Amino acid sequence: MRYAAAALAAVLFTTGAAWDPEEPPSAVSVKVKPGTSKGTGKLTPIAGADRLVAPLGVDPACPATIKIGMRSDARKPAYATMNVEVDPPLTASRTMLTSYLPPGYELGAKLLVAVPPETKEGTYGLRLRTTDKTLSVPVDVMPVDRLDNGGNLALRRPVTASSQHTNANYPPCSVVDGDRSSNGWAGGNGWNDATARAWPDTIAVALGGAKQISRVDLYTLDTERYPASRYGVRDWDVQAQVNGQWQTVAQVRGNTAGNARSDFAPVTADAVRIVALASNGANDYTRIIEVEVR
Ligand SMILES: [Ca+2]
């Protein structure tokens, strides 16, 4: 036990920022908050949001996610434990968060909440429980048609891709999960195709019926470590499926930015497809974080 505590303490003091952008979603990261311990002796659960919306019928590879964690206002470093409970039939990716934790420190992790297909609409309970406090986060289970999509017709709709790289977590559904951020690359937040230097690669989003559209925003991989100018998509066509036929409605060439907006004359389409033609990298894969359709 003593050895384990020392090893974890070393991790705590070298890890740096919480919610490390390069950490996979299941990883635990720790944030230093110097001098902020309130000295109350309490261990407080924390959550990244007041509520969680968990859509029904989405690809299980892209479950609803929420940041969870705990902060220690203990007087001395100690092992801290928080239990995670969710009302059935929902399931959570972890039942417990535990770590050696000095006073003033915050421990965070990403929690995935899965909604089995037979789940009824409604509000379910998610509880984060320490010995000192229970934090309740309501989980709203609803069909995709009732989501507040902010006008983005692609949000949480079905996605099909020409291929998917399998050496890490690159599910096609991640391009419509509502998260435009490249943080957590290879951990389920973006799509990487499987055919290096072979083009085109395609990814299509069904819109759930014929919708009038005139704009597509594409977010490609772009972080400090993986800048779009070296890892992002460079050339692509935006296509709309109109009366069963794919039409090219916009073209992007020479892109080096993290995102690009394409506006076009309105069409009534059932689906939108990105036809990727080239990337900026030497190994040339298609890497897309998010596609939004309006
Ligand atoms: Ca995403």
Domains assigned to the chain: 20-145 (2.60.40.10), 159-293 (2.60.120.260)
Give the C-alpha separation, 82 to 129, whole Å.
5
Q: Measured in angstroms, how far is the CA atom of residue 184 from the centroid of ligand 1?
A: 10
Q: Measured in angstroms, how far is the CA atom of residue 103 from the centroid of ligand 1?
A: 34
Give the C-alpha separation, 293 to 237, whole Å.
14
pLDDT value of residue 37: 74
Q: Measured in angstroms, how far is the CA atom of residue 187 from the centroid of ligand 1?
A: 11
Given CA atoms 43, 47, 50, 52 in this order, what sign does their dihedral have? negative
Q: Measured in angstroms, how far is the CA atom of residue 264 from the centroid of ligand 1?
A: 23
Q: DSSP of the chain, one letter per residue?
A: -HHHHHHHHHHHHHH-SSS-TTS-TT-EEEE--TT----S--EEEEES-S-EEEEET--TTS-EEEEEEEEE--SS-EEEEEEEEE-TT-EES-SEEEEEE-TT-EEEEEEEEE--TTPPSEEEEEEEE-SS-EEEEEEEEEEGGGS--TT-TTTT--EEES----SSB--GGGGGSS----TTTTBTSSEE-S-TT---EEEEEEEEEEEEEEEEEEEE---SSS-HHHHSEEEEEEEEEETTEEEEEEEE-S--SSEEEEEEEEEEEEEEEEEEEEESSSS---EEEEEEE-
Q: Which amino acid is at 118?
A: E
Residue 72 β-bridge partners: 43
pLDDT value of residue 1: 34
Contact between 201 and 286 under an 8 Å Cβ cutoff? The reply is yes
Residue pLDDT tens, the chain, 294 long: 333 343 343 333 333 333 333 344 444 555 555 556 777 889 999 999 999 999 999 999 999 999 999 999 988 888 999 999 999 999 999 999 998 888 999 998 999 999 999 999 999 999 999 998 999 999 999 999 999 999 999 999 999 999 999 988 999 999 999 999 998 899 899 999 999 999 999 999 999 999 999 999 999 999 999 999 999 999 999 999 999 999 999 999 999 999 999 999 999 999 999 999 999 988 899 999 999 999
Contact between 93 and 142 under an 8 Å Cβ cutoff? The reply is no
Q: Measured in angstroms, how far is the CA atom of residue 266 from the centroid of ligand 1?
A: 25
Q: Measured in angstroms, how far is the CA atom of residue 180 from the centroid of ligand 1?
A: 5
pLDDT value of residue 33: 57
Q: Measured in angstroms, how far is the CA atom of residue 188 from the centroid of ligand 1?
A: 8
pLDDT value of residue 40: 85
Give the C-alpha separation, 244 to 240, whole Å.
9
